[in-house]
Each structure stands twice: as C-alpha cells, then as structure tokens.
Structure 1
Amino acid sequence: MSGGAVEVRCKGGFLRSIKAGEELVEKIEEISSSYMIRAEDVICSLAEPVENYYLRVNIMKGSREYVLSKMPHDSHASQDERFEEMINVKVRGGEKVEEMKRYVIADIKAAERVMLGSDLFMPGALKVVNGKRGEEVAVVSENGYVVGSGILDIDPSEVNPKKRGIAVRIERSPYKMVKLNSLDIFKEGYIYDQSFPSMLLIHASSPREGDVIADLTASPGGKISHAYEFTRGKAEYYAFDHTNAKVEKVEETMRRLGHENVKVYKADSRSLGKEFPWLSPSFTIVDPPCTGLGNRPRLSFSFEEEEQEVLIRLQKALLSEAIRITSPGGKIVYSTCTLTVEENEGVVEWALKNFPVCAEEPLAPYPRTKLSDFPFARFLPGYHKYPGFFFAVLKKL
C-alpha cells in the first residue's frame, strides 16, 4: 500500500476497525461528497455483504417457481418482482469466529467468500499452519482477518494453487447464506449468481432477437449468458477473452447453462477487428479489468494510482475497439465493478469526445450518476444497498 493508512471506525458488522489506505480514502471522498455522504460510510458498507444476494434463473431451462421449489427451506430465498428471472437470497448473521493455533492462510478473494460461509477451495489456500487433515482450523486472510473455521480436508503438503477441491469445509463464519455450488439446481444449470446491478445492465440496454452479440471480456460468462437468455437464444453470440483459463471458464459456464450456440474464442480484444475481420456486432459488451473497488464484502482497502493508470489505458483500448467493430446504429455497453470516476464516467466521456457515438438513455429505471451530465448508471455502497457498479449504454452513429 503506497502512502499511509487511515483508521476507519464502523458502528457494527464484522469489521469494527478498518485500516484504509490514504489514497483510497481520498479517492472515495471525491465521489461520496457528491452524494452527501462520508467516505467512511462507503468504506464501512464495502466491508459488509449486501443484505440480499441475487440469483438469475435460467428461464430457458425452468421457471422461477420451479427453482424456488428446489431451494433449501433454510435458504431464505424469494422472488423479486422487478425481473422475471430474479431471485434474492437473504444474507444472515452467522457466528463469531475466534483465533486458533491451527489455521489456514487464504488469499484475499477466497477469504471474502469464506466470510459468507463458502468452503475454502484449494486455489485460495496458501498455507496450513499447525493443522492436520480432519482437525478444526481457523481460516485467516493473508492480511490477518479471521474469517471462518471448519475442518481441514487436505494434508498440509497438498496445498497447491493449481489443484482443485475443498481445502477447508467451513462450519462457522460471520455471515451465512446457502452454499450455491453444492445445489443440484446450480450444477444442472438452472441458476447463475449475479448481482442486481449486473442484471439491470442487460434490461437497461435490451439486446434484441436477431442481434449479433459480442462480449469482449466475457469471463466468467455472466453477461453473455444473460444476453443469451434475454433474447431466448435467437441471436448470434460471440464471447472473447485473452487467456486459456478465462476461455475455459466461459466454456464451462455455457455448458452448465446449456447455451450451446455461444461461440467462444481466445483473443486479444484490443485488436479483434484484425483477427476477426468478419465480426460486426450490433450489440457489444465491454466489462474490462478494473480496480474492483465496488466488490463487497471486501477485506482489502488499498488503492494504487499506478495500477489504475495501467487499467485505464486498457479500458480505453477495449472500448475503442468495441466502437470500431460495432455496426452503425448498434449499441455498446460499458460497465465496471469499481468506484473511481476515472475508470467510469471518465473513460466513457473520453469515448464520447473521440468517437462517433452518443449516450443512450437506459431502457429500465436506474440510479443516474451524480458525477456526469450524461445518463450513466452508478451504484455507490453506503448510498445504495448494492455492490459498487457502473454502466453506460452508447449508440454508434
């Protein structure tokens, strides 16, 4: 973390005291002041999970009523009337977790999932300290937070980021929700876990049957699969990503959901026009790598200006290529799961000044940003009850 740290006190929840980087606090203050809330309110909200976790029903496979009938009775799942495919699952308070002599160190992302009661899977386990297979161990994030406890399911020598499988079967955690990956309806492709803002994006941009739909940064497959279901599989679908692992993840998602008509390619989406000169989508999705500051719950509260600068160059390159390859009259949807103005309003306003595109009014009710005069959507934790998220809908002239 560059710069110093600021102690943020939170009134309740799992983290009562947070060490946040000065740069992060300053960056959030730039945003929160326009919403008349404190940066501390945003940071404390980021440390907590959302009250409702959302699931998207694969309506090409089954109804919402069928999925609800198959959910465990203690899952606290209910239908959400805003979208026909949406179900919400209550996130409940769990149990207090204590430090232990035997523990497993987990990477940040895995530890954040354990906070919600998820098992610790092998890629996220970094080291076993004093524990043996079958013993109770604590799970500690790599920055020192005790996030859960359970039974160690591996030998210490088996820790390997390239392996799969459960490392710790979690029994206690600060928060509780149903373990989705263990459900038959998940394995059989009836549901996909996706936030409300991400689902809103597809409704607000409204791809149509007959469109040629391309997702330039498709992994893990949430947006392209939602577009597939929204158009009832009656369009052309192309998914791109730049590594074998990401491509395999998209393919795995499409297989599970039964979306056989999605064509998946490994490619550098900054130069798709050269590699795929025949591609001329009428609906293009760009959800580029970003600083991810809107994800919640989170255990890391730092910000690196240098990292953001690199990401902004990539975001602009991907959005530029999306505009170039999209057919005239077609739509380009740009989204991120971060908070900064530079990666959101800044990138899209740059595109509006430099390319033949205009900003479209979203086609579904949305929280309009207070940080631009254009009709962009922004979700801000501490002000909204959702993860941080941004999207804009552009039309190519």
Structure 2
Amino acid sequence: MSFRRKNIKQQPCEVIVGAQCGNAVLRGAHVYVPGVVSASKFMKGGDVVSVYSDIKGKCKKGAKEFDGTKIFLGNGISELSRKEIFSRLPELKGIGVRMTDPVYLSPSFDNVLPSYLFLQNLPSAVVSHVLDPQPGEKILDLCAAPGGKTTHIAALMHDQGEVIALDKISNKVEKIKQNALLLGLNSIRAFCFDGTKALKLDMLKDTDGEPPFLPESFDRILLDAPCSGMGQRPNMACTWTLKEVTSYQPLQRKLFTVAAELLKPGGVLVYSTCTVTLAENEEQVAWALETFPHLQLQHQDPQVGGEGMLGAGLSSEQLKRLQRFDPCVVLSQDSDTGSLRDAGIEDTIWLANKDCIGFFIAKFVKCKST
C-alpha cells in the first residue's frame, strides 16, 4: 500500500520522465537514466530537483524545459548533471535522480533479498494459491512472462514436479529462466512458444517434452491471459483505443480453447486478467461454460477479492465463485500507518483489496469422463 504525502515544495529545477518511468516512481523506484526525457538547462549533480511525468508523451528527448501536461511525482537529488545524462546516452543505465520526497510513500523492494523474494501484487499472489499446485504434478503456465506466478507455483510445489512456462517473446522467456535460476528452482522449464499453438495436432510427432503438447497433458493450467491491462495502477499511459481493447477477447478465447484441451480430466484451469472490463472477464466465463460443458466453475480459496460483476448472464451463485479485485474505492488521503496497525484481519483484507491493482480470477475443474 502507498500513502500520499502533502505539501511537498516544488523546485525550480525540473526533470521530466516518461509515463512508464513515472509509474515506477509511484511504486517506490528511483529515476533511472533511460527514463529521463528532459532536464533543466543548468541542472548539476547534487541539485534538488522536482520530478514530473509526461503522461502524453509530448516532451522531446533532451528538451531544456517542458510546458505540456505533466504530473508531479516528488523531489529528489540528481546524481548526474544534465550534460552527463544526455551526452552519454544510451550507455548510461544507473540512477539519474534519487527520490527523497516522493508524493507517495511506497517502499521499493528492488534487489532486496533477490534469491528469496519476488515482488508481486496481491492478486497475482492469490492466483497461484487458487491454482493450488501439488508436489509431483505437471503444471502449465500458458502466458508466463516475466515469471512471477511461474516461480510462485514452483515454490508452492516445493520444487517437486514440472512447471512448463510458455511465452512467445524470447527475451521475456530468458527473464523467466533467470528468475528461476536466481531463486534456485529446478522444476521450471521455459520455452519461447506461442500459446495458441501449444496443442499438438500431429499425434505421431514426438517433441520430447517440448511444445506443442498432446491433449490432456497437464494436471493444472494457469492462463493469465494477455489483456487490455486496465486494472494496472498506477498507470500514467492511458492510451487505449476501442479497437485495441476489443482485440483481446478473440485471443483470450483461442488460448482458453487450447488450455481446455491440454487439461487432464479432473484437472484445474485458472483464468485471470489484470483488467476490469466485462468483455474480458465475466463474459469470457459465460462463454467458456457454454462452449465447454465439461468445465465446471469452482469456489476459490483464498477468497480475498469481491464477487463478479453483473451483465454477462451469470447466476448469483456463479458470480460468488469469481474474484474481482476492485481498486475504485481507495484509502483516503488522510489514512496513515497507525490506522492500519489497529485494523483487524478482515479490515486489513478489505483495505488490501481496495488498494491494489484491478484483477479478475476464475477457477474451473474439468469433469472426469463417465
């Protein structure tokens, strides 16, 4: 959780960063050199500077000033001069501004016990528990990068069994492998492969345990599907178009169809997104139940999020079996850590649900043939 700080005095020396860098700063990060878009003309190393995010991407790289739309992120100390930053790009990759007075108090866990900890949002951690992987099982993480859920699944299995992680972008697959190695997890096998093609159609072709896979090959499958990402927060790059948003539903259904075929009878399929649209969440559940009668919607444990949203034709009981994390109601700006310490466990869960990313989880079980 983060807490807003008031009355931070803005400085005449300004640094402008891109929207993604701004998101990271709000999550507790310092400003790294590649994220710097603009800096005041006479900025020197050691200056107190105010950091702003260019949310519309209008600031030109290397500009000496910027009067466009920008959001104040807080103050920090510049590690380098303006000349050092812009004369030595792109090889510079270290900290450009060390944040000392951010608008939001959100501690950074970057590189804190990297061999033991992997930072995740609350709903992302809940997903792996809902999947409930067991030692010795064969698990598929169909859209796995960067591997937070993959490594969590392997850890919950005590690294006993097999976790297959797929992603179609090669550098993201390398990141999964690096994370598994860093955490000492040997049960993970990561492949650069398109999840929509993960079902083996040629039954005679032997791929030696590599994708594509035969039908009914996995005990449990996680489909953390590509989505519009409207639940991600903080997010300063809200540039979605209607065409982009509507493009995800067909892709999600292709992936779901593959997952349903790859799941063993009696196996568990968990579908999740980090978005809030009805079309990518409850409507997909309704479609899946109609399209795959052998799939049954299940209760989830733990149940931390709220129930599903009306509008997709699901029954009241079915909505209760879904988890929708709702960030629309957040802590007031006057909340402090003391009030959280005094909160009971139920209040703490409620607060966690309200001060997290938007997220959706559905759990299915494949009926055994009679």
TM-score of the superposed pair, with normalisation by structure 1: 0.70
Identity of aligned residues (%): 29
The 1:306–1:207 alpha-carbon spacing in structure 2 relative to 1, beyond 3 Å, is same
SS at match of 1:193: coil
Paired residues of 2:303 and 2:323 also in contact (CA < 8 A) = no
Q: When the two structures are aligned, how many residues end up with a matched partner?
A: 305
Letter in 1 for 2:357: P
Matches within 5 A, 1:1-397: 52=1, 91-94=2-5, 96-97=7-8, 99-130=10-41, 131-143=43-55, 144-154=70-80, 155-157=84-86, 164-183=93-112, 185=113, 187=114, 189-274=115-200, 275-278=211-214, 280-301=217-238, 303-355=240-292, 356-366=294-304, 367-371=306-310, 372-373=314-315, 374=318, 375-383=321-329, 384-385=353-354, 386-397=356-367
TM superposition shift of 1:258: 1.5
The 1:162–1:219 alpha-carbon spacing in structure 2 relative to 1, beyond 3 Å, is farther
Structure 1 stretch displaced more, 92-101 or 345-354: 92-101
> Hey, what does 1:11 align to over in structure 2?
none
Larger radius of gyration: 2
TM superposition shift of 1:395: 1.8
Letter in 2 for 1:224: T
Distance 1:226 1:182 in 2: 17
The 1:396–1:120 alpha-carbon spacing in structure 2 relative to 1, beyond 3 Å, is same
The 1:317–1:262 alpha-carbon spacing in structure 2 relative to 1, beyond 3 Å, is same
Supply the RMSD in Å over aligned alpha carbons: 2.4
Distance 2:288 2:181 in 1: 35
Question: Deviation digits for residues 2-54 of structure 1, max 9, x if unmatched?
Answer: xxxxxxxxxxxxxxxxxxxxxxxxxxxxxxxxxxxxxxxxxxxxxxxxxx3xx
TM superposition shift of 1:226: 1.2
Distance 1:127 1:152 in 2: 13
TM superposition shift of 1:197: 1.9
Letter in 1 for 2:361: F
Question: Deviation digits for residues 291-329 of structure 1, max 9, x if unmatched?
Answer: 222222333455421111112222222222111222222
Letter in 2 for 1:242: K
The 1:306–1:179 alpha-carbon spacing in structure 2 relative to 1, beyond 3 Å, is same
Distance 1:348 1:127 in 2: 45
Distance 1:127 1:267 in 2: 38
Paired residues of 1:360 and 1:395 also in contact (CA < 8 A) = yes
TM superposition shift of 1:182: 4.2
The 1:333–1:161 alpha-carbon spacing in structure 2 relative to 1, beyond 3 Å, is farther
Question: Deviation digits for residues 197-219 of structure 1, max 9, x if unmatched?
Answer: 22222222312222111111111
Letter in 1 for 2:231: G
Paired residues of 1:95 and 1:173 also in contact (CA < 8 A) = no
Distance 2:91 2:284 in 1: 35
Distance 1:379 1:141 in 2: 27
Which structure 1 residue ranges, 5 or more long, are not aligned?
Answer: 1-51, 53-90
Question: Deviation digits for residues 223-245 of structure 1, max 9, x if unmatched?
Answer: 11111111111121111111122
The 1:182–1:225 alpha-carbon spacing in structure 2 relative to 1, beyond 3 Å, is closer
Distance 2:119 2:26 in 1: 17
The 1:217–1:128 alpha-carbon spacing in structure 2 relative to 1, beyond 3 Å, is farther
The 1:167–1:320 alpha-carbon spacing in structure 2 relative to 1, beyond 3 Å, is farther
TM superposition shift of 1:262: 0.7
Distance 1:142 1:243 in 2: 28
Distance 1:124 1:315 in 2: 32
Distance 1:249 1:123 in 2: 20
TM-score of the superposed pair, with normalisation by structure 2: 0.75
Structure 1 stretch displaced more, 227-236 or 131-140: 131-140
The 1:207–1:316 alpha-carbon spacing in structure 2 relative to 1, beyond 3 Å, is same
Distance 1:277 1:113 in 2: 37
SS at match of 2:15: strand
Letter in 2 for 1:169: R
Distance 1:217 1:364 in 2: 22
Distance 2:89 2:224 in 1: 30
